[in-house]
A and B are shown apart, each in its own frame.
Chain A
Amino acid sequence: MPSDSVQNVDDSGNKKFVHRSMGFSRLRRLAAKELLEILRDRRTVVTLVLMPLLVYPLLGTIVQKFMLSSLSNLQQVEYLIAAENEEELAVIDRFLVIGESILNPEGMQRNRGGSQPNGSLQNKPVEDLIRGQLEAPPLIRLVKSDPDKLDEYVMLGVFDVGVRITNREALKKNPNARETVQFELVQREDSALSAGAYEFVTQRLEAVNDKWVEDVLRQQGVNLSRPNAVRTLTLKSEDEEQPALLTFIPLMLVLMTMTGAVYPAIDLTAGERERGTMEILMAAPVSRMALLFGKFVAVLAVAMLTALINMAAMLVTVYTLGLDSIIFGEQGVSALVVLTIFALLLVFAAFFSAVLLSLTSFARSFKEAQAYLIPIMLVALAPALLSLFPDLEMDVTLALVPLVNIILLGRDLIAGQVNLTLVTITVVSTLLYGFLALGTASKIFGSDSVLFGGTSSWSDIFARPTEMSYIPSMPTTMLFLSVLFPCFIVIGGLATRFDISIQKRLVVNAGVTSFLFVGLPLIFCTIFNLRVRTANLLNPPRLLGVLVACLLGVSVWTFIYEIEVYSLSETRLEVLKDVFETMKVELQKIPLALKLVCLALIPAVCEEFTFRGFMMSAFLKHTKVWVAIMATAVMFGLFHVFVRDALLFERMLPSSLMGILLGIVCVRTGSVIPGMILHTIHNGLLISLAHFENELKEIGFGGAEQQHIPMFWLAAAILPILIGFALLSLKAVRSQNPTAEESETAGSAPYRVH
Chain B
Amino acid sequence: MISVRDLVKRFPKRGGDVVAVDQLTFEVQPGEVYGLLGPNGAGKTTTLRMILGLMTPTSGLAEIAGFRVDVDPNEVKSRIGYASATVGVYPWLTPREMVLFSADLYDVSPRIASERLDQLSELLDLGSFLNQRCATLSTGQKQRVNLARALIHDPPVMLMDEPTLGLDIVASKVVFDYIGHLRSEQKAVIICTHRLDEAQRLCDRFALLHHGKLRHEGTLDELKSATSQQGLTEMFLELLEQERDPQRKRGLV
Interface residues of A (CB under 8 A from B): 1-3, 5-6, 8-9, 12, 14, 17, 19-20, 26, 29-30, 33, 36-38, 40-41, 275-277, 279-286, 448, 451-452, 454
Residue interface bits B96-138, CB-to-A below 8 A is 1, else 0: 0100011011110010000000000000000000000100000
User: Do residues A26 and B93 form an inter-chain contact, with CB atoms below 8 A?
Assistant: no
The 8 Å CB contact of A1, one of B27, B78, B110, is B27
Asked whether B156 lies within 8 Å of A9 as measured between CB atoms, the reply is yes
- The reply to whether B55 and A448 form a contact with Cβ atoms under 8 Å apart is yes
Q: Is the CB of B92 within 8 A of A41?
A: yes
The CA of A38 and the CA of B91, in the complex, are separated in Å by 10
Inter-subunit contact A282/B54 (CB<8 Å): yes
A279 touches B66 (CB 8 A): no
Compute how far the CA of A279 lies from the CA of B49 in the bound complex, rounded to whole angstroms: 9
Beyond the given pairs A277-B87, A285-B107, A286-B105, 9 more chain A to chain B contacts, judged by CB atoms under 8 angstroms and listed by A's residue number, are: A6-B66, A9-B65, A12-B186, A17-B74, A33-B101, A40-B92, A279-B84, A448-B54, A452-B55
Q: In the complex, are the beta carbons of A281 and B105 less than 8 A apart?
A: yes
Query: Could you show 13 A-B contacts with beta carbons less than 8 Å apart?
Result: A2-B65, A8-B156, A12-B156, A17-B75, A17-B78, A19-B74, A36-B97, A277-B89, A279-B87, A280-B82, A284-B102, A284-B106, A454-B11
Q: A279–B53 Cα gap in the complex (Å)?
A: 11
**Any chain A CB within 8 A of the CB of B224?**
no
Chain A residue with the shortest CB-CB distance to B73:
A285
Residues on B with C-beta less than 8 A from A279 are: 54, 82, 84, 86-87
B55 contact set on A, CB distance < 8 A: 448, 452
Known contacts A12-B156, A26-B107, A283 near B80 by CB under 8 Å: yes
Check if A5 sits within 8 Å of B65, measured CB to CB.
yes
Q: Which of A20, A33, A283 has the most CB of B within 10 A?
A: A283
B154 adjacent to chain A (CB < 8 Å): yes
Question: Does B1 reach chain A (CB closer than 8 Å)?
Answer: yes
- Residue contact A280 to B87, C-beta cutoff 8 Å: yes
Number of residues on chain B facing chain A (CB within 8 A) = 48
In the bound assembly, the distance between CA atoms of A37 and B78 in angstroms comes to: 24
In contact, B1 and A8 (Cβ under 8 angstroms): yes
- Give 4 nearest A-B pairs by CB, closest first: A2-B66, A276-B88, A17-B78, A284-B105
Q: A17-B79, A19-B74 are in contact. Are A452 and B101 (CB under 8 A)?
A: no
**Residue in A2, A5, A36, A285 whose CB lies within 8 Å of B74:** A285
- B30 close to chain A: CB less than 8 A: yes
**Contact, CB under 8 Å: B54 / A283:** yes
Cα A646 to Cα B102 in complex, Å, equals 50
Nearest CB on B from A13, distance (A): 9
| A30 & B105 in contact (Cβ 8 Å cutoff) | yes
Chain B residues near A37 (CB, 8 Å)? 90, 92-93
Q: Say yes or no for B3: interface residue by CB 8 A criterion.
A: yes
Enumerate chain B residues within 8 angstroms of A33, measured Cβ to Cβ: 93, 97, 101, 104
Q: By the criterion CB–CB under 8 Å, are B90 and A275 in contact? A: yes
Contact between A285 and B106 (Cβ–Cβ < 8 Å)?
yes
Give the distance to chain A from B107, nearest Cβ to Cβ, in Å. Answer: 7
Q: Judging by beta carbons under 8 Å apart, are A19 and B88 in contact? A: no
- Interface assignment of B203: CB less than 8 Å from any CB of chain A: no
| Closest chain A CB from B86 CB (angstroms) | 5
Flag if A29 contacts B104 (CB, 8 Å).
yes
B1 and A5 contacting across the interface, CB-CB below 8 Å: yes
Is B25's CB within 8 Å of the partner chain A? no
What CA separation (Å) do A202 and B52 show in the bound complex?
A: 93
B86 contacts which chain A residues (CB < 8 A)? 276, 279
B231 to chain A, nearest CB (A): 32
B3 and A276: CB pair below 8 A? Answer: no
B88 touches A275 (CB 8 A): yes
Contact A277 B65 (CB under 8 A): no
In the assembled complex, the Cα of A8 lies from the Cα of B32 at a distance in Å of 14
Partner of B77, one of A29, A36, A285, A454: A285
Q: Is the CB of A14 within 8 A of B156?
A: yes
A321 to B154, CA, bound (A): 61
Q: How far is the CB of B161 from chain A (nearest CB, A)?
A: 9
B54: nearest chain-A partner, CB-CB:
A282
CB distance from A280 to the nearest CB of B (A): 6
Complex: A283 Cα to B105 Cα, angstroms? 9
Q: Decide yes or no: A5 and B66 within 8 Å by CB, A277-B90, A280-B87, A280-B149 being known contacts.
A: yes
A6: which B residues are within 8 A, CB to CB?
Answer: 65-66
Contact with A along B1-34 (1 / 0, CB 8 A): 1010000000100000000000000010010000
Tell me the smallest distance from the CB of B77 to a CB of chain A, in Å. Answer: 4
A12 to B31, alpha carbons, bound, how many Å?
12
Q: Which residue of B lies closest to A280 (CB)?
A: B87
- Which chain A positions have C-beta within 8 A of B52? 283
A454 to B9, CA, bound (A): 14
Q: Is the CB of A36 within 8 A of B93?
A: yes
Q: Which residues of chain B are near A275, meaning CB under 8 Å?
A: 88-91
B78 to chain A, nearest CB (A): 3
User: Would you give the 0/1 interface string for B144-161, flagging 1 where the beta carbon is closer than 8 Å to chain A?
Assistant: 000001000011100000
Residue of A nearest to B45 (CB): A452
Question: Which residues of B have CB within 8 Å of A17?
Answer: 74-75, 78-79, 107
Interface assignment of B63: CB less than 8 Å from any CB of chain A:
yes
In the bound complex, CA of A276 to CA of B165 (Å): 15
Chain B residues with CB under 8 Å of A283's CB are 52-54, 77, 80, 82
Interface assignment of B56: CB less than 8 Å from any CB of chain A: yes
Chain A neighbourhood of B67, CB < 8 A: 2
Q: Which residues of A contact B93 (CB under 8 A)?
A: 33, 36-37, 40
- Report how far A285 CA is from B67 CA in the complex, Å: 13
Task: Write the chain B residue with the least CB distance to A19.
Answer: B74
Q: How far is it, in angstroms, between the C-alpha of A17 and the C-alpha of B153 when the chains are bound?
A: 10
- The distance in angstroms between the C-alpha atoms of A647 and B77, with both chains bound, is 49
A residues near B27, Cβ cutoff 8 Å: 1
Which residues of chain B are within 8 angstroms of A2 by Cβ–Cβ distance? 3, 63, 65-67
User: Which of A3, A8, A9, A26 sits near B104, CB closer than 8 Å?
Assistant: A26
Q: In the assembled complex, which residues on chain A have CB atoms less than 8 Å from the CB atom of B3?
A: 1-2
A727 to chain B, nearest CB (A): 37
Task: List chain B residues, Cβ under 8 A from A285.
Answer: 73-75, 77-78, 105-107
Q: How far is the CA of A637 from the CA of B154 in the complex (A)?
A: 48
Q: How far is the CB of B209 from chain A (nearest CB, A)?
A: 18
Contact of A8 with B54 in the complex, beta carbons under 8 Å: no
Q: Which of B56, B75, B89, B104 contacts A19 (CB 8 A)?
A: B75
Interchain CA distance A2-B90 in the complex, whole Å: 36
Q: How far is the CA of A152 from the CA of B53 in the complex (A)?
A: 89
Nearest residue in B to A281 (C-beta to C-beta)? B105
Is B30 touching A30 in the complex (CB atoms < 8 A)? no
**Which residue of A is nearest B149, CB measured?**
A280
**Contact pattern, B 182-208, Cβ under 8 Å of A = 1, otherwise 0:** 000010000000000000000000000
CA–CA, A30 to B90, complex, Å? 14
Q: How distant is the Cα of A3 from the Cα of B86 in the complex, in angstroms?
A: 34
Q: Tell me the B35-67 residues at the A interface (CB within 8 Å).
A: 49, 52-56, 63-67
Q: Do A8 and B30 touch across chains, with their CB atoms under 8 A apart? A: yes
Docked complex Cα distance between A26 and B90 (Å): 19
**Chain A residue with the shortest CB-CB distance to B76:** A285
B48 to chain A, nearest CB (A): 10
Closest residue of A by beta carbon distance from B103: A29
- Report how far A6 CA is from B68 CA in the complex, Å: 12
Which listed residue, B79, B97, B107, touches A9 by the CB 8 Å rule? B79
For B56, the chain A residues whose CB sits under 8 A away are 448
Give the distance in Å from the alpha carbon of A228 to the alpha carbon of B93 in the complex: 86
Distance in angstroms from A711 CB to nearest chain B CB is 55
For the complex, give the distance between the alpha carbons of A318 and B30 in Å.
70
Set of chain A residues within 8 Å of B97, measured between Cβ atoms: 33, 36
Partner of A451, one of B54, B77, B92, B156: B54
Task: Provide the bound-state CA to CA distance between A394 and B159, in Å.
Answer: 58
- Which B residues are CB-close (under 8 A) to A282? 54
Which of B53, B56, B66, B89 counts the most A-chain CB atoms under 10 A from its CB?
Answer: B66
For B72, the chain A residues whose CB sits under 8 A away are: 19
A10 to chain B, nearest CB (A): 10
A281 to B86, CA, bound (A): 14
Q: Which residues of A contact B74 (CB under 8 A)?
A: 17, 19, 285-286
